[in-house]
């Protein structure tokens, strides 16, 4: 077992996340060409209900496992980590099998009465076996992350993505002749195949674990038997796991339910606006299956930061080390801002050519252009929420998420039912949710930790974004205007990216000490 530092762990997860998200665009680009936007809409409509169920059974357990294992390892109690793993697996597997059974036998009623398009039935049936698989995999990922070994999670996610790409496209192609709803179900079966492979990789990694000699000695006593004699009972561990996971589950459940209600209310509101069901399904599929994934692609870093932050902050909190907590938080915020800003610029300035190159569809570019300026708040949201959860304040994160969800659903009902706005009403509602939740998280963190946000860094990044936006626009419209579209896009973005790197270096947002902490290339600095 190789424990990595905070930055190393983040970079390992970042590399895996970037690979996954880039590879993940293969089915997102190809799937609409196989089953069409309407088929993607049916595929997407099944996901929100699935996310609600998975959140109920495993939403907060991985984070609880990660936090408790990190505490056990830092106090020299590796045997306690194994008890935490076994207890968590028992809870997750029991709940997973129960909900899988309920979904399989309740699919007809759910798809007819709760979901906006009954054709999603086959997709719903296809995804049901995935519930227990995801529940088990999430516990193992939390276990490895608690040990601050991010390699098993990274390897598992990459293998899951590769399998999913192949099977989603293959199965949807094979089943499409039976009807568009079967094509969407085939795509979901491909996702299930990927999850199975991801879980198997984690199990293989677990079997290869060899306990290091130092893990058998308790630093407090030096007695190898001390770890065994002080073991808490599974019952007390279960109470601790539930005490941490339930508030986190509540927060994530609000988000998942919000996503489910969003899919239902968006379809209903578009119907009130006079849009046919098939067209509404296609528009929602374009928003959730095409635009949102592009928007979230740069979030690979911030999601990696969020995962690495939990065990790192848990260890610092156990030591009462407020200085390290502030340092890690500052590193995360700066990395999120610096890395996300250039992507937000490109998505805003180059929305039309980007959508044309990815999907051969420029009609959806307006949605991306409207959401792009707020993307940086999405990237900032992950580390802030992870900080609240790691420091035993998930209840506050839950409250913030709930407020944002209520506002979003209310705005969707009001705006998307307006024929003049249509799907753009839902886009505006999602933007309002992003702004409200991020600001509330920031205020909560600042108050809880007496933390001062790096406002000067914000201003520097805004200046860099503005200059980069002007340069990319000029290059695309003037300098490379006679080149093919893909070359115009690539050359303008590359030049803009180089300019941005020069600017953040000149503004001292990144310095030599930052580069020295990056694995592999750090020695060059």
Alpha-carbon distance values, 45 to 39, 57, 79 (Å):
10, 20, 43
Distance CA 330, CA 440 (A): 18
Distance CA 99, CA 90 (A): 14
Give a yes or no: residue 465 inside a domain: no
What is the value of pTM for the model shown?
Answer: 0.66
Task: Give the pLDDT of residue 13.
Answer: 62
Give a yes or no: residue 262 inside a domain: yes
Alpha-carbon distance values, 276 to 38, 117, 244, 268, 409 (Å):
12, 12, 45, 10, 21
Per-residue pLDDT band at 516 (split at 50, 70, 90)? low
Distance CA 425, CA 431 (A): 10
Q: Note down the domain range covering 418.
A: 6-210+233-453
pLDDT tens for residues 145-196? Answer: 777 777 787 788 889 889 988 998 899 889 888 888 888 888 889 989 999 9
Task: Give the pLDDT of residue 130.
Answer: 87
Distance CA 385, CA 397 (A): 6
Give a yes or no: residue 312 inside a domain: yes
Q: Write out the two tokens for 514.
A: 């930052």
Per-residue pLDDT band at 221 (split at 50, 70, 90)? very low
416-425 mean pLDDT: 86
Give a yes or no: residue 330 inside a domain: yes
pLDDT tens for residues 65-85? Answer: 887 887 777 777 777 778 888
Sign of CA dihedral 387, 391, 393, 398: positive
Give a yes or no: residue 473 inside a domain: no
Q: Does the pLDDT at position 370 exceed 90?
A: yes
Task: Give the pLDDT of residue 369.
Answer: 92
- Regarding predicted confidence, which is higher, 35 or 472? 472
Q: What angle do CA 346, 352, 353 make, to 5 degrees?
A: 75
Distance CA 385, CA 188 (A): 30
pLDDT tens for residues 222-241? Answer: 444 444 445 666 677 777 77
Q: Does the pLDDT at position 214 exceed 50?
A: no
6-34 mean pLDDT: 69
Give a yes or no: residue 113 inside a domain: yes
Note the maximum CA span of the chain.
75
Distance CA 334, CA 340 (A): 10
pLDDT tens for residues 466-508? Answer: 999 999 998 888 766 677 888 888 889 899 989 998 888 888 8
How many domains does the chain contain in total? 1
- Regarding predicted confidence, which is higher, 41 or 16? 41
Task: Supply the DSSP string of 222-260, one letter for each residue.
Answer: --TTHHHHTPPPHHHHHHHHHHHHHHHHHHHHHHHHHHH
How many angstroms from the chain centroid is the CA of residue 118?
A: 28
Give a yes or no: residue 486 inside a domain: no
Q: What angle do CA 258, 263, 269 make, to 5 degrees?
A: 110
- Length, in residues, of the chain: 525
Within 391-506, residue ranges assigned H as helices are: 394-411, 423-449, 455-474, 485-506
Nearest to 42 by CA among 225, 194, 183: 183
Nearest to 32 by CA among 184, 195, 260, 171: 184
Q: CB–CB of 6/152 below 8 Å?
A: no
* Structural element, H or E, at residue 112: helix 78-113
Least confident residue range of 306-315, 343-352, 363-372, 426-435: 306-315
Rg (alpha carbons) of the chain, rounded to whole number: 23
Task: Give the pLDDT of residue 311.
Answer: 63
Residue the block writes with tokens 């408790």:
68
Give a yes or no: residue 300 inside a domain: yes
Q: Write out the two tokens for 357.
A: 């190159």
**460 CB-near residues (< 8 Å, 6+ apart):** 504, 507, 509
């Amino acid at each position: 077992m190789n424990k990595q530092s905070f930055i190393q762990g983040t970079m390992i997860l970042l590399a895996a996340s970037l690979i996954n998200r880039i590879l993940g665009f293969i089915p997102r680009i190809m799937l609409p060409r196989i089953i069409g936007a309407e088929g993607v809409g049916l595929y997407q409509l099944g996901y929100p209900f699935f996310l609600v169920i998975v959140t109920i059974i495993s939403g907060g357990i991985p984070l609880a496992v990660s936090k408790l294992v990190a505490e056990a390892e830092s106090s020299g109690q590796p045997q306690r980590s194994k008890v935490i793993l076994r207890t968590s697996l028992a809870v997750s597997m029991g709940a997973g099998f129960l909900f899988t059974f309920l979904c399989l036998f309740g699919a007809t009623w759910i798809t007819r009465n709760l979901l906006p398009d009954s054709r999603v039935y086959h997709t719903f049936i296809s995804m049901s076996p995935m519930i227990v698989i995801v529940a088990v995999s999430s516990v193992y990922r939390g276990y490895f992350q608690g040990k601050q070994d991010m390699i098993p999670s990274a390897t598992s996610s990459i293998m899951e993505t590769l399998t999913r790409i192949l099977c989603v496209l293959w199965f949807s192609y094979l089943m499409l002749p039976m009807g568009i709803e079967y094509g969407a179900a085939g795509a979901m079966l491909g996702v299930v195949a990927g999850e199975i492979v991801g879980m198997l990789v984690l199990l293989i990694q677990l079997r290869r674990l060899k306990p290091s000699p130092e893990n058998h000695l308790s630093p407090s006593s030096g007695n190898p038997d001390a770890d065994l004699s002080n073991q808490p009972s599974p019952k007390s561990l279960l109470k601790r796991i539930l005490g941490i996971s339930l508030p986190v589950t509540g927060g994530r459940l609000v988000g998942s339910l919000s996503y489910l209600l969003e899919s239902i209310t968006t379809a209903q509101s578009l119907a009130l606006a006079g849009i046919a069901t098939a067209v509404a399904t296609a528009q929602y599929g374009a928003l959730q299956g095409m635009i949102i994934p592009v928007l979230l692609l740069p979030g690979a870093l911030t999601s990696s930061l969020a995962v690495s932050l939990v065990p790192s902050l848990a260890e610092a909190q156990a030591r009462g080390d407020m200085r390290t907590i502030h340092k890690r938080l500052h590193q995360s915020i700066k990395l999120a801002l610096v890395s996300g800003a250039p992507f937000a610029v490109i998505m805003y300035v180059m929305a039309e050519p980007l959508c044309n190159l990815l999907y051969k569809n420029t009609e959806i570019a307006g949605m991306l252009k409207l959401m792009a300026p707020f993307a940086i708040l999405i990237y900032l949201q992950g580390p802030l929420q992870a900080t609240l959860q790691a420091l035993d304040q998930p209840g506050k994160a839950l409250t913030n998420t709930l407020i944002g969800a209520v506002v979003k659903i209310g705005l969707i009902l009001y705006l998307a039912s307006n024929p003049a706005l249509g799907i753009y009403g839902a886009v505006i509602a999602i933007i309002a949710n992003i702004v409200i939740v991020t600001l509330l998280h920031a205020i909560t963190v600042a108050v809880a930790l007496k933390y001062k946000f790096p406002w000067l860094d914000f201003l520097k990044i805004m200046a860099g974004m503005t200059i980069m936006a002007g340069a990319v626009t000029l290059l695309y419209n003037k300098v490379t205007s006679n080149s093919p579209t893909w070359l115009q896009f690539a050359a303008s973005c590359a030049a803009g990216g180089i300019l941005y790197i020069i600017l953040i270096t000149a503004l001292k947002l990144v310095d030599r000490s930052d580069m020295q902490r990056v694995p592999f290339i750090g020695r060059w600095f």
